[in-house]
Amino acid sequence: MYDVVVVGAGVVGLTSAVRLQQAGARVAVVTADEPERTVSRVAAAVWYPTHTAGDPRVLGWADRTYAELARQATDGVPGVVLRPTRALLRSLPDSRPWWASAVPDFTQRAGSAPYAAEQRYTAPSVEMPRYLPWLVKQLTAAGGMLERRRLDRLAEVSDLAPVVVNATGLAARTLADDPAVHPARGQIVLVSNPGLFTSVRDEEDPAGLTYVHPRSRDVVLGGTFEEGATGLAPDEATGAAILRRCTALVPELAGARQLGQLVGLRPARHGGARVEVDPVGLPGGTRLVHNYGHGGAGVTLGWGCADEVVDLLFGRAG
């Protein structure tokens, strides 16, 4: 018997499981797919609250996650690196972005045409193929279990623990009966790294979302954010357009060897992430806490949301 069972083994589920263990709980994770087959595996995974509305609660999640990932980078956690970032803006913002207070070295300056402004800051970058196995290792080394099982109902795991944490991402549309959950398709191109270290993004490119995120052995080029789209096969024309936009943004990419293309369905939700105790719970008196709907910001908000899950179950949030 465990104290808590977490359903879902993407970055949100695994960070929740690890935090619960650190709070003293015995934790099992049940997942339809192995962690390396979740959408988290495809994520560019650079700290940035993309397509996320700002409010004090979300800022708190982002702030705590930034601090945790920065600590992990300092401690040498596999795949976590602090990288300089340049965000190029084609229109002059009315104010600092809502998330700027979470970033210790945020600055904004005038841009060079066609850009009206340029923001510079340091952000954690996470290589998910290395990070997800590290999270699993933290879970199992502390006595946690990871079981692969596809569920039709969350109540199917009530026999494992008196508390269930629902971190099922897109599957929450069915498992939590939440029609606000929907896919946001993302396609990326991977190329060899010609020596880049700085992340660069131009989210206002009229040709489409554009970002260049270097990693230790490759560079993630993106991208798309297609709400409601469900196709998992890479589109060659889309990939070619991404490559053109990114090379125009960072000319050093010219001639970089293409390594592949990946597609993932982000677990978006109208109204933002749902992190709360379910008022009804599950049959038999099992408590249910939801932690899903992070869209493309699972890495950016994950540790902060995991902290709130712990608070909801054991701390000040009751």
What pLDDT does residue 93 have?
Answer: 92
What single string gives the DSSP state of each residue in 11-61? Answer: HHHHHHHHHHHHTT--EEEEESS-GGGSGGGG---BS--TT----HHHHHH
What structural domains and CATH numbers belong to the chain?
4-314 (3.30.9.10)
Yes or no: say if 146 and 139 are a contact pair by the CB < 8 Å rule.
yes
Per-residue burial over 33-42, b if 16 or more Cβ lie within 10 Å, else e, is eebeebbbbb
What pLDDT does residue 248 have?
Answer: 97
Instruction: Report in angstroms the alpha-carbon separations of 147 from 8, 110, 157, 164, 263.
Output: 10, 52, 11, 14, 25
Return the closest-CA partner of residue 267 out of 302, 235, 234, 242.
302
What pLDDT does residue 318 have?
Answer: 35
Return the closest-CA partner of residue 305 out of 58, 111, 117.
58
Distance CA 118, CA 96 (A): 12
What single string gives the DSSP state of each residue in 88-127? Answer: EESS--SS--TTGGGSTT-EEEE--TT-SEEEEEEEEEE-
Distance CA 196, CA 254 (A): 12
Give ∠ CA 173-35-218 in degrees, rounded to 5. 115
What pLDDT does residue 1 have?
Answer: 82
Q: Which residues of the chain have pLDDT under 70?
A: 316-318
Reported as a single tens digit per residue, the pLDDT across 243-301 is 999 999 999 999 999 999 999 999 999 999 999 999 999 999 999 999 999 999 999 99
CA contacts within 13 A on the Cβ side of 298: 34
